[in-house]
Amino acid sequence: MKGKKNNKFPAKYILLIMTVFCLIIIGCSVGFGISSGPVGKAVGYVVIPMQKGLNKIGDALHLGSENLASKKELQKENDELKQQVADLEDQLSRVSLEQYELESLRELYQLDQSYDSYDKTAANVIGKDAGNWFSSFLIDKGSKDGIEIGMNVIADGGLVGIVTDVGDNYSKIKSIIDDTSNVSGMDLSTSDTCIVSGGLKTMNERQQLEISDMRDKDNKVKAGDQIVTSNISDRYLPGIPIGYLTEVETDTNKLTKSGYLATVVDFEHLEKVLVIKQTKDYSEALKK
């Protein structure tokens, strides 16, 4: 069977005819002042809905432009607020840093007052050996600042170590936790002497140092006692705090005691120190 012919009139032509028709009606209405009668009514039926549609489109476009302008303004304000927040955070960081530095200086000042009989100079830590502990490190003061080998170094209210090498603008410090360090200590409560031995292994395992050869003749030494540098030390000035006993027990020889000591100084976070500008030999000479 032959297919039926498509008699449908193309939609685009219908739309074109309607558009031309509307234009003719609008033209007649405007050109001849037709506002009543069949043509006027036709114009009203056709033009008014079109006008309403155009008005809605115009309103929508206007509202869209206003929303776009409002969005841009809000974005601008948001960017300005973000910048203000960034500026405030920067100011807060500066204030926090200044406060931290002020606290560090205050602690140094208090430490300085505790040993006001000694001439001292403050120094910054500028380098250290590998690892978590400050067993050996450099400071930014040297021979030009009057630093000499053998001078004692303090911080955090206690003994840090001793100067072992000096350059024009730097000095090297060996701390009391170094494996080769041995300090003659004394129990402040009983005056019994002991040896405080450095050791990174013990620091890693217990965050403490070992003490040995404690001559506890009256059996009064106990955990919690403060250990300071003793008078018989040949390298360290007397009376500088080292730490506090955490454990103590009698050795097999029944004559001495051994144990562990928690240091006064935080050997993981050293930033500023005080160097006592005299050696043990010099202090002894003053007494003669």
* Cα–Cα distance measured from residue 140 to residue 144, given in angstroms and rounded to the nearest whole number: 11
Nearest 5 degrees, angle CA 217-CA 221-CA 223?
160
Whether 25 and 68 map to the same domain: the answer is: yes
Last residue of one domain, picked from the residues 87, 114, 141: 114
Last residue of one domain, picked from the residues 90, 114, 138: 114
Query: Quick one: pLDDT at residue 208?
Result: 95
Q: Which of 9-18, 21-30, 43-52, 72-81 has the highest mean pLDDT?
A: 72-81
Count of domains for the chain: 2
- Which is more confidently placed, 227 or 72? 227
**Residue 2 included in any domain:** no
Is the entire prediction scored with pTM above 0.85? no
Per-residue pLDDT band for 111 (boundaries 50, 70, 90) equals: low
The average pLDDT across 39-67 equals: 59
Question: Across the chain, what does the average pLDDT equal?
Answer: 78
* CA 197 to centroid of chain Cα atoms: 34
Per-residue pLDDT band for 120 (boundaries 50, 70, 90) equals: confident
Whether 92 and 27 map to the same domain: the answer is: yes
pLDDT at 278 over 50: yes
Per-residue pLDDT band for 30 (boundaries 50, 70, 90) equals: low
The average pLDDT across 191-207 equals: 94
Q: Which structure tokens are listed for 33?
A: 């002042």
Whether 269 and 127 map to the same domain: the answer is: yes
**Residue 3 included in any domain:** no
pLDDT at 3 over 70: no
* Cα–Cα distance measured from residue 142 to residue 11, given in angstroms and rounded to the nearest whole number: 98
Query: Quick one: pLDDT at residue 106?
Result: 58
Whether 106 and 155 map to the same domain: the answer is: no
Residues 76-96: pLDDT tens digits? 777 777 677 766 665 655 555
Whether 93 and 170 map to the same domain: the answer is: no
**Residue 208 included in any domain:** yes
C-alpha torsion angle, residues 274, 277, 283, 285 (rounded to 10): 170
Whether 69 and 212 map to the same domain: the answer is: no
Taking residue 43's Cβ as centre, other Cβ atoms within 10 Å add up to 20
**Residue 5 included in any domain:** no
* CA 13 to centroid of chain Cα atoms: 75
Whether 91 and 190 map to the same domain: the answer is: no
Whether 91 and 152 map to the same domain: the answer is: no
Residue 277 DSSP code? S
Q: Which of 39-53, 75-89, 146-160, 269-283 has the highest mean pLDDT?
A: 146-160
Whether 149 and 245 map to the same domain: the answer is: yes
Query: Quick one: pLDDT at residue 284?
Result: 46
**Residue 170 included in any domain:** yes
CATH number of domain containing 248: 2.40.10.340
Structural domain for 156, as ranges: 120-287
pLDDT at 205 over 80: yes
Whether 139 and 233 map to the same domain: the answer is: yes
Whether 137 and 235 map to the same domain: the answer is: yes
* Cα–Cα distance measured from residue 179 to residue 198, given in angstroms and rounded to the nearest whole number: 5
Whether 134 and 213 map to the same domain: the answer is: yes
Last residue of one domain, picked from the residues 65, 81, 114: 114
* Percentage of residues of the chain with pLDDT beyond 90: 44
